[in-house]
Structure 1
Amino acid sequence: MNLKLKSHLPSEDKVLEKSPVPIEIEFCNVTKMYGAVAAVKDISLSVSRGEFLTILGPSGSGKTTALMLLAGFTAPSRGDILIAGKSVSDVPSYRRDQGIVFQSYALFPHLTVRRNLEFPLEMRGIKAAERAARVNRMLARVHLDEFGNRLPSQLSGGQQQRVALARALISDPPVLLLDEPLGALDRNLREQMQVEIKDLHKEFGKTTICVTHDQEEALTLSDRIVVMRAGQIDQIDTPEALYDRPKTRFIANFLGEANILENAAFKIESDVVPSSEMIAMLRPERISVNAHSAARREDADQRQSVSGTVEDMIYAGPLRKYRVRVGNAVLIAREHVASGQEVFRSGDEVRLDWLRSDIRFVAA
């Protein structure tokens, strides 16, 4: 008599299902050499399933190379890349089951919108009836129901971007790659598409890797941001933590504006005692600009005040930016425009103050 013993050990799939944040993508000590130049240097990174992660950095930082390695358009010189726990370093791009949106959109110019969306489904052998149904659903989802028979050249930039996103999502890949997806759009369209991309990510739940040099875009879209410099990872954190608690001078300056209080003409007051190698940093929006005669705040005992002279005031719609000379330094202060607010001009003497707890210390 054959007895089958029922195992009480969960299967690997069940373990993955119960894991709160299973890892979808891993870079394991990855280096990419172009001759003697390392475009990417020994980077290690884990991306959770369903996470929206942005790789941010200036030109030449290695961010695009990292995406091309993940997409399979180039192979690592050293190290390994894993997707769902399996090495893909030797797997060609067309077998990686990823949706990709390029900065140029890369739509087929001779095919209609509908045919552009059908193409990846055809390549997967999906039958015509199912293809048509999927295309109709996706066109409705990206608000292009009436544009299916148009060519890409007959669409606006924002519409082409939505087609590119729809094509990347229509075959239901587990991973979505975005290469400077909003770089070709004007400011208003970029802001609209940021909302659209966030909504699509929330709805489809794809593990998404986005590469950009646009700091605002990264802060708006991401669950976490990887900041790269010279082929290496400088810091990985949430948008809030990166902006409010940067670890280095480079990140403080790259991610928004920063007042680096190095060799300032006044003593920095802070609730934190830094090491001698650290430099004080203060974000412009943390600084309050006041007339010398203005009453002190109720929390004045928690604040530091300095006197200065306004060098310039820049009006930018909802914001005013002041450049104020304090001794040998010029501090930037930024405040939201409000009715009844006092406005200062070049040459005005002012008092700047900020909470001592808003001072941050960064590595040089």
Structure 2
Amino acid sequence: MEKDVTLAQIEFRNVTKTYGALAAVKDLSLSVRRGEFLTILGPSGSGKTTSLMLLAGFQAPNQGEIFIAGKSVAAVPSYRRDQGIVFQSYALFPHLNVRRNLEFPLEMRGIKAAERTMRVDRILARVHLDGLEDRMPSQLSGGQQQRVALARALIADPPILLLDEPLGALDRNLREQMQTEIKSLHKEFGITTVCVTHDQDEALTLSDRIVVMRAGRIEQTDTPEAIYDRPATQFVAKFLGEANILENPGFTIEANAPQPSGTVAMIRPERICIVALNAPKRVDVDQYQSVTGTVDNMIYAGPLRKYHVRVGSTLLVVREHVASGRRALQPGDEARVEWLRSDVRFVAV
């Protein structure tokens, strides 16, 4: 049966959580649709982890209410909220082997031994850990421990999955592999998932929607594509990827729309093209803004080159894909940097 993606599975209604004089979460209102993968993103102290702990039932709000499937969970303890949880530390039982770690949540629900065995065998195969069921957590790699933690969270078929910095302890290559695995598992199980992270790439890769938090409040909520391409504020633009903030740049900004008051112009580094000063002009030059500058620095990063280009008093960051036969510009080279006028965004200060 097709899931109703319009139905809210989780709702925060005017939720505030304080610690003494500090408000970690301030008047938070947020809905998570059934089957959605929503990521709460923000720096340390933004309130993202507190929001997850409130949803999990490990903490209680000072004001407001949290609803799951339309019912308030104010009086429902964490162990009765029927949620799978994966922590950054994995929180596996060190004295139990993989099979016993996976059986534990099923035993707590009173599921019989034969059914437990069947479910464990099935989930082990799904997360590519069959054959490792007798190993202790200390005998597993970080990636294998992460798979066990995910399997344990999913094995009881909970309607909600909570992920607290789930990939923070993994190296980059393994993190990318696990992003693919988590995305695949979410698609297969269709579980409403709330993930907390400070990793922008992780949020963009995994999410149906992203919530960016700052100082206990929501700064912006939107799809990954929209929030990256059309950030609402300067904070979001700079936090989610790199951004050239063109405030008093020393040249006139040309855009397809007038600049609203209280905003500053912004353009992403990958939207800017860089060429040698004597390169031929574009055929569609009327659609572009072009300025000249001097290369301050060039950083080679495998498939990408990152340039810092000095244009008057402004230092522009430019990213380009490394193309076969294309000569890299060097520090001191004069260059022309160009961007489509339609790629300029205006963000609130």
TM class, shorter-chain normalised? over 0.9
TM-fit CA distance, 1:20: 4.8
TM-fit CA distance, 1:276: 2.5
Alignment of 1:174-185 (within 5 A): 174-185=159-170
1:168-210 Cα shifts (integer Å, max 9, x gaps):
0000000000000000000000000000000000000000000
Give the match for residue 188 of structure 2: 203
Alignment of 1:26-41 (within 5 A): 26-41=11-26
Asked whether the equivalents of residues 104 and 184 of structure 1 are also in contact (C-alpha less than 8 Å), the reply is yes
1:235-281 Cα shifts (integer Å, max 9, x gaps):
00000001000010000000000000000111000011122211000
1:293-342 Cα shifts (integer Å, max 9, x gaps):
11111221100000000000000001000000000010000001110112
| CA spacing shift, 1:109–1:20, aligned 2, 3 Å | closer
1:213 to 198, 202, 214: 198
1:81-128 Cα shifts (integer Å, max 9, x gaps):
000000002210000000000000000000000000000000000000
Could you tell me the TM-score, scaled by structure 2's length? 0.99
Residue 42, structure 1, aligned to residue 30, structure 2:
no
SS of residue matched to 1:166: helix
Asked whether the equivalents of residues 254 and 341 of structure 2 are also in contact (C-alpha less than 8 Å), the reply is yes
Give the match for residue 248 of structure 1: 233
For the residues of structure 2 that align with 1:172 and 1:145, how far apart are their CA atoms?
19
Alignment of 1:147-162 (within 5 A): 147-162=132-147
Give the match for residue 309 of structure 2: 324
SS of residue matched to 1:109: coil
For the residues of structure 2 that align with 1:325 and 1:282, how far apart are their CA atoms?
16
For the residues of structure 2 that align with 1:276 and 1:54, how far apart are their CA atoms?
31
Asked whether the equivalents of residues 4 and 34 of structure 2 are also in contact (C-alpha less than 8 Å), the reply is no
Give the match for residue 172 of structure 2: 187
SS of residue matched to 2:176: helix
TM-fit CA distance, 1:166: 0.1
Give the match for residue 238 of structure 1: 223
Give the match for residue 90 of structure 1: 75
Asked whether the equivalents of residues 99 and 175 of structure 1 are also in contact (C-alpha less than 8 Å), the reply is yes
Residue 65, structure 1, aligned to residue 56, structure 2:
no
Asked whether the equivalents of residues 321 and 335 of structure 1 are also in contact (C-alpha less than 8 Å), the reply is yes
Give the match for residue 119 of structure 1: 104
For the residues of structure 1 that align with 2:148 and 2:342, how far apart are their CA atoms?
47
2:244 to 255, 259, 273: 259
SS of residue matched to 1:146: coil
Give the match for residue 278 of structure 2: 293
For the residues of structure 1 that align with 2:272 and 2:125, how far apart are their CA atoms?
47
For the residues of structure 2 that align with 1:142 and 1:67, how far apart are their CA atoms?
25
Asked whether the equivalents of residues 58 and 213 of structure 1 are also in contact (C-alpha less than 8 Å), the reply is yes
SS of residue matched to 2:131: helix
For the residues of structure 2 that align with 1:19 and 1:141, how far apart are their CA atoms?
26
Give the match for residue 224 of structure 1: 209
| One-letter amino acid of the counterpart of residue 56, structure 2 | A
Residue 128, structure 1, aligned to residue 121, structure 2:
no
Asked whether the equivalents of residues 3 and 34 of structure 2 are also in contact (C-alpha less than 8 Å), the reply is no
For the residues of structure 2 that align with 1:122 and 1:58, how far apart are their CA atoms?
38
Asked whether the equivalents of residues 75 and 90 of structure 1 are also in contact (C-alpha less than 8 Å), the reply is no
TM-fit CA distance, 1:18: 8.5
Structure number with larger C-alpha Rg:
1
| One-letter amino acid of the counterpart of residue 343, structure 1 | A
For the residues of structure 2 that align with 1:27 and 1:286, how far apart are their CA atoms?
37
| CA spacing shift, 1:151–1:326, aligned 2, 3 Å | same
For the residues of structure 1 that align with 2:3 and 2:31, how far apart are their CA atoms?
18
| One-letter amino acid of the counterpart of residue 358, structure 1 | D
Give the match for residue 138 of structure 1: 123
Give the match for residue 92 of structure 2: 107
1:334-361 Cα shifts (integer Å, max 9, x gaps):
0011101121000000000000000000
TM-fit CA distance, 1:291: 0.9
For the residues of structure 2 that align with 1:265 and 1:34, how far apart are their CA atoms?
45
For the residues of structure 2 that align with 1:267 and 1:335, how far apart are their CA atoms?
24
| One-letter amino acid of the counterpart of residue 115, structure 2 | E
- Gaps of at least 5 residues in structure 1 are 1-16
Give the match for residue 13 of structure 1: none
Runs of 4+ in 1 over 3 A off after TM superposition: 17-20
